Amino acid sequence: MTWQLIKRNNIDIDKWNYTVDNSANHHISGLSWYLDVVSPNWYGLVWNDYEIVFPFRKKRNIAFHILCNLR
């Protein structure tokens, strides 16, 4: 059981969207196509085999990279 931070181009989109669609609080803003529009270089925090997913964007602040929640 592990968390993984995965770049957008390495995310399994079918598994990601399935998890979002079948969650108790599903919303359009969690779907991959929406995330691609609002933040093209987003990251996904994924638990195990896409049991839990959470989108993030990477932001540079002076000399540090910060992960920010997209919601």
* Cβ-contact 71, 38 below 8 angstroms: no
Task: Give the per-residue pLDDT at 62.
Answer: 63
What is the distance between the alpha carbons of residues 59 and 53, in angstroms, rounded to a whole number? 19
With CA atoms as reference, report the closest residue to 52 among 28, 30, 29: 30
What is the distance between the alpha carbons of residues 5 and 44, in angstroms, rounded to a whole number? 6
pLDDT by residue, tens only, the chain of 71 residues: 799 999 999 999 999 999 999 999 889 999 999 999 998 889 999 999 999 999 988 766 665 566 666 65
Question: What is the pTM for the complete model shown?
Answer: 0.82
- Domain residue spans in the chain? 3-69
